[in-house]
């Protein structure tokens, strides 16, 4: 009886292996660029023709190869990067498998021209179908030039699966940009069909970011930098105005290798808390540095996936650092008069990318420092729709608490110096003075408290002075942010406080709303609703949250249900988040509601006590500002 099992011929085995490493032209560009970087090249050119299907050529001025090394390089598992098992646990190079060139040679017509710096003669090695090898000697440019022609010419099924030229070129460019982003100290050029598309000169990281994205890109970003012995991270995350609708604009580099990590992505996304609406993703460029022994990049042949030895610690570290970065800067967009329109008139321009200075709001209206005589007095001074606990302020103390969950090494090496909160008051700055009740100077002292002007515009917007100009707040979305964070706190605290109704209200709803209210009852109870359910779809309301105005109980409850169903249908929000957003949206003060001066100041103070005073839970801006320079310009001041 004949044996069924046999060893495959080398050329067939190579074609199978090539399927894992070389999936499309972009895979070839990635592997060859990584080899050039490992060869310490300072200038790298990428030449593409017919979206890589006809030609992919990578030219570098790296170390080059000897004749023996060039011949060995096209063999499977031939590499100069590792030699013993221990090397595999501490990989510092981009390549290490020794599979790329052999896989590429198996499915293309490969040519390698290489010459070392000190040699007078180089070598030209041509490989056809991974089998037929010809060698020629000659004088070539120092470094290495690798040409890959007619990719997948001998595997027509694979070639048929390639996409259109536009799609394949898009993938190649994305990979080229990622690698260029990881090494700003190297000059990269990209030629497509003999035309120069990109010319990235060696320089700083910021210069490379501007070259790849946009000249004003840095104005849309917040710098991140945290250095510890365990893990260091640097780079940039986007301001809320630059949230994207694409998952493809998140760039994570670990030890200068572009990788994809669900843990890190989630940590960054979560740090934006409720700035992100459904379908929004933050843009970020982050560089992580850690001991190669703490990670495993040998997960997949593409080397895009990575596993951390201490995933929980890395997650907690990244979340804390991103949160700290977001909390350390003013992220308020500015308004300026832009260039003239076609009609010849100047238009007010909404500038998302204008850089704002830290502590810009240090002279914002403040109500916090004025201590009332009693808790009841404080409560009575608040508008009905605004009573309740304030949002949580994100400070360095919170960062320290987050860092306490990390291992000893991280806590030991985390920096201890304080970072000023952008809305903090300076220590030696006199703001408000509380006075003892009953003294004759009380009234004068009260007037002193309100020296900074604050007015309401058309019962919609609150206007007030800040250090750099004029601050404008949308009162509805500001209160919405306050109530949203208060609702989330109520869910976690499990200490409901309800405002009892003098007379219970009976509401008849349809069967669907009745079932939904019963399902949401545990969360509604935590918010402060006291509901009883009877037959025939009747709901009795005995109490409501203190933020609900008396006389609007039935209207607000039904509006919350409608908003919840709308969010569930359109945005597929998580249950608690959906209810918190629905509650805050329908309970907040509305455009058109007149506020007293004290109510406006209290609203502003509570807004800036929240963890994210820049945008409402749905992503709309809460605060904008007009710089003082703009007023000077309008009035002809020089």
> Do 220 and 75 fall into the same domain?
no
> What's the Cα-to-Cα distance from 257 to each of 179, 316, 368, rounded to whole Å?
8, 22, 48
Looking at residues 1-24, what average pLDDT do you find? 63
Distance of alpha carbon 581 from alpha carbon 584, whole angstroms: 5
CA dihedral 405, 411, 416, 418 (to 10 degrees): -10
Distance of alpha carbon 491 from alpha carbon 567, whole angstroms: 19
CB 318 within 8 A of CB 230: no
Q: What is the pLDDT of residues 612-636, one digit of tens each?
A: 888 888 878 898 888 888 888 888 8
- Is there a domain that residue 634 lies in? no
DSSP reduced 3-state for 20: helix
- Is there a domain that residue 151 lies in? yes
Tell which wins on pLDDT, 144 or 537. 144
Give the pLDDT score at 414. 40
> Do 241 and 298 fall into the same domain?
yes
Looking at residues 511-536, what average pLDDT do you find? 92
Which among 327, 360, 376 is the end of a domain?
Answer: 327
Q: Could you tell me the two tokens for 485?
A: 């964070």
Give the pLDDT score at 385. 39
User: 259-273, 303-317, 325-339: which has the minimum mean pLDDT?
Assistant: 325-339
Nearest to 616 by CA among 459, 483, 492, 493: 483
> Do 248 and 199 fall into the same domain?
no
Give the pLDDT score at 394. 39
> Do 63 and 164 fall into the same domain?
yes
The boundaries of the domain holding residue 279 are: 213-327
- Is there a domain that residue 632 lies in? no
- Is there a domain that residue 296 lies in? yes
Distance of alpha carbon 53 from alpha carbon 27, whole angstroms: 12
- Is there a domain that residue 270 lies in? yes
Distance of alpha carbon 285 from alpha carbon 182, whole angstroms: 10
Count Cα neighbours of 560 within 13 Å in the Cβ-side half-sphere: 29
Q: Could you tell me the two tokens for 250?
A: 């998140």
Give the pLDDT score at 478. 94
Distance of alpha carbon 484 from alpha carbon 496, whole angstroms: 15
Give the pLDDT score at 20. 55
> Do 157 and 268 fall into the same domain?
no
Bridge pairing between strands 187-192 and 195-200? antiparallel
Q: What is the pLDDT of residues 75-84, one digit of tens each?
A: 866 665 545 5
CA dihedral 344, 348, 354, 358 (to 10 degrees): 140
> Do 199 and 285 fall into the same domain?
no
Nearest to 124 by CA among 78, 64, 38, 77: 64
> Do 25 and 130 fall into the same domain?
yes
Give the pLDDT score at 613. 85
Q: What is the pLDDT of residues 204-227, one digit of tens each?
A: 999 999 999 988 888 888 999 999
Give the pLDDT score at 411. 37
How many Å is the Cα radius of gyration of the chain?
31
pLDDT above 90 covers a percentage of the chain that reads 37
CB 25 within 8 A of CB 56: yes
- Is there a domain that residue 76 lies in? yes
Provide DSSP, 363-432: TS---TT---SSHHHHHHTS-GGG-SPPPPPP-HHHHHHHHTTS-HHHHHHS-------TTPPPTT----
DSSP-assigned beta bridge partners for residue 15: none
Q: What is the pLDDT of residues 558-567, one digit of tens each?
A: 999 999 998 8
DSSP-assigned beta bridge partners for residue 349: 336
> Do 27 and 153 fall into the same domain?
yes
> Do 143 and 251 fall into the same domain?
no
Looking at residues 34-40, what average pLDDT do you find? 91
- Give backbone dihedrals phi and psi of 107, rounded to 5 degrees, phi first: -125, 20
Looking at residues 161-173, what average pLDDT do you find? 91
Nearest to 159 by CA among 50, 11, 10: 50
The DSSP 8-state label assigned to residue 192 in this structure reads E
Which among 274, 308, 327 is the end of a domain?
Answer: 327
CA 204 to chain centre: 22
Q: What is the pLDDT of residues 376-404, one digit of tens each?
A: 443 334 444 343 333 333 344 444 444 44
DSSP-assigned beta bridge partners for residue 543: 500, 530
Distance of alpha carbon 600 from alpha carbon 585, whole angstroms: 18
Question: Helices 205-212 & 165-182, crossing angle to 10 degrees?
Answer: 160
- Is there a domain that residue 227 lies in? yes
Give the pLDDT score at 608. 86
> Do 199 and 281 fall into the same domain?
no
Distance of alpha carbon 198 from alpha carbon 190, whole angstroms: 5
> What's the Cα-to-Cα distance from 545 to each of 388, 457, 499, 577, rounded to whole Å?
9, 29, 6, 18
- Is there a domain that residue 89 lies in? yes
| CATH code (residue 161) | 3.30.565.10
Q: What is the pLDDT of residues 90-110, one digit of tens each?
A: 556 665 555 778 888 888 999
Q: Could you tell me the two tokens for 627?
A: 């710089």
Domain count, the chain: 2
Give the pLDDT score at 158. 78
> Do 195 and 267 fall into the same domain?
no
Q: Counting beta carbons within 10 angstroms of the beta carbon of residue 371, is it exposed (0 to 12), middle (13 to 18) or buried (19 or more)?
A: exposed
Give the pLDDT score at 110. 93
Provide DSSP, 555-611: HHHHHHHHHHHHHHHHT---HHHHHHHHHHHHHS--TT----HHHHHHHHHHHTTSS
Give the pLDDT score at 484. 93
The tokens 């010849």 sit on which residue?
A: 344
User: 29-38, 67-76, 78-87: which has the minimum mean pLDDT?
Assistant: 78-87
Residue 148 pLDDT level (bands cut at 50, 70, 90)? very high
CA 225 to chain centre: 15
Nearest to 169 by CA among 304, 15, 54, 260: 54
- N-terminal to C-terminal alpha carbon distance within the chain: 100
**H or E segment to which residue 296 belongs:** strand 295-296
Tell which wins on pLDDT, 389 or 602. 602
Distance of alpha carbon 126 from alpha carbon 71, whole angstroms: 10
| CATH code (residue 295) | 3.30.230.10
Which among 182, 203, 224 is the end of a domain?
Answer: 203
> Do 239 and 305 fall into the same domain?
yes
């Amino acid at each position: 009886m004949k044996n069924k099992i046999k060893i495959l011929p080398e050329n067939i085995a190579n074609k199978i292996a090539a399927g894992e490493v070389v999936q499309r032209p972009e895979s070839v560009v990635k592997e060859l660029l990584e080899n050039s970087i490992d060869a310490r090249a300072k200038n790298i050119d990428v030449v593409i023709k017919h979206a890589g299907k006809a030609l992919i050529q990578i030219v570098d001025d790296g170390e080059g190869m000897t004749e023996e090394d060039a011949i060995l390089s096209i063999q499977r598992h031939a590499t100069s990067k590792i030699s013993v098992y221990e090397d595999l646990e501490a990989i510092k190079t981009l390549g290490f498998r020794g599979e790329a060139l052999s896989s590429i040679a198996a499915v293309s017509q490969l040519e390698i021209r290489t010459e070392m710096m000190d040699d007078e003669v180089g070598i030209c090695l041509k490989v056809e179908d991974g089998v037929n090898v010809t060698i020629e000697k000659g004088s070539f440019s120092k470094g290495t030039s690798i040409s890959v022609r007619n990719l997948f010419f001998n595997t027509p099924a694979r070639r048929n699966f390639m996409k259109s030229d536009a799609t394949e070129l898009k993938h190649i460019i994305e990979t080229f940009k990622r690698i260029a982003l990881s090494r700003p100290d190297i000059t990269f050029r990209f030629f497509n069909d003999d035309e120069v598309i990109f010319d990235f000169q060696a320089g700083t990281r910021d210069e490379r970011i501007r070259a790849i994205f946009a000249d004003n890109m840095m104005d849309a970003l917040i710098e991140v930098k945290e250095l510890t012995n365990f893990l260091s991270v640097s780079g940039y995350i986007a301001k809320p105005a630059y949230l994207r609708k694409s998952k493809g604009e998140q760039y994570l580099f670990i030890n200068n290798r572009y990788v994809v990590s669900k843990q890190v992505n989630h940590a960054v996304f979560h740090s934006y808390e409720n700035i992100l609406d459904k379908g929004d993703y933050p843009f970020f460029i982050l560089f992580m540095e850690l001991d190669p022994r703490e990670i495993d990049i040998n997960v997949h042949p593409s080397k895009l996936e990575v596993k951390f030895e201490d995933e929980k610690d890395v997650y907690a570290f990244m979340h804390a650092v991103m949160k700290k970065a977001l909390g350390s800067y003013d992220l308020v967009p500015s308004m300026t008069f832009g260039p003239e329109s076609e009609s010849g008139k100047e238009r007010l321009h909404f500038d998302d990318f204008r850089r704002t200075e830290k502590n810009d709001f240090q002279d914002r209206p403040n109500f916090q420092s004025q201590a009332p005589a009693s808790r009841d007095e404080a409560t009575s001074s608040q508008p009905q729709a605004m009573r309740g606990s304030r949002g949580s302020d994100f400070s360095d103390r919170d960062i320290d608490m987050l860092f306490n969950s990390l291992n000893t090494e991280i806590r030991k090496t985390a920096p201890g110096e304080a970072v000023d909160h952008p809305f903090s008051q300076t220590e030696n700055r006199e703001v408000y003075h509380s006075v003892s009740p009953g003294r004759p100077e009380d009234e004068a002292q009260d007037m002193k408290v309100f020296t900074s002007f604050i007015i309401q515009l058309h019962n919609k917007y609150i206007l007030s002075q800040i250090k750099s100009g004029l601050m404008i707040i949308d009162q509805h979305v500001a209160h919405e942010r306050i109530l949203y964070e208060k609702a989330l706190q109520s869910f976690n605290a499990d200490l409901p406080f309800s405002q009892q109704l003098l007379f219970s209200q009976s509401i008849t709803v349809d069967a669907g709303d009745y079932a939904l209210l019963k399902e949401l009852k545990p969360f509604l109870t935590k918010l402060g609703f006291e509901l009883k359910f009877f037959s025939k779809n009747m709901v009795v309301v005995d109490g409501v949250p203190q933020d609900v105005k008396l006389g609007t109980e039935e209207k607000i409850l039904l509006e919350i249900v409608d908003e919840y169903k709308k969010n569930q249908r359109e945005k597929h929000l998580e249950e608690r988040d959906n209810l918190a957003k629905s509650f805050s949206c329908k309970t907040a003060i509305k455009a058109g509601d007149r506020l007293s001066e004290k109510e406006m100041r209290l609203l502003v103070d509570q807004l800036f006590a929240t963890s994210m005073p820049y945008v409402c839970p749905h992503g709309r801006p809460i605060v904008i500002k007009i710089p003082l320079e703009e007023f000077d310009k309008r009035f002809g001041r020089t």
